[in-house]
Amino acid sequence: MVSDVTIITAIYGDKYDEFIPGWQASVGSLIDKPARVMCGTDRPRDIDAEILISQSTFKWRSPYYWNYCAERTDTEWIWILDIDDRIRPDATQGLNEQTCDIWLMGMSINGREDYYPPRLTNEQIGSAGHCYFCCSTPIRRSWWQRNPYRDLAFTDWAMWRTSAKLGADFEWSNKIGYDYRHDFTNSMSGWADADDNNRLAVLAL
- Rounded CA separation 186/180 (Å): 10
Residues 73-102 pLDDT 10s: 999 999 999 999 999 999 999 999 999 999
pLDDT of the residue at 187: 47
Q: What is the mean pLDDT of the chain?
A: 94
Cα atoms found within 13 Å of the Cα of residue 135, Cβ hemisphere only: 26
Which neighbouring-strand residues pair with 53? 41
Burial zone of 119 (CB within 10 Å; 0-12 exposed, 13-18 middle, 19+ buried): exposed
Pick the more confident residue, 113 or 158: 158
Q: How confident is the model at residue 1 (pLDDT cuts 50, 70, 90)?
A: very high
- Rounded CA separation 135/172 (Å): 14
Does this model's pTM top 0.85? yes
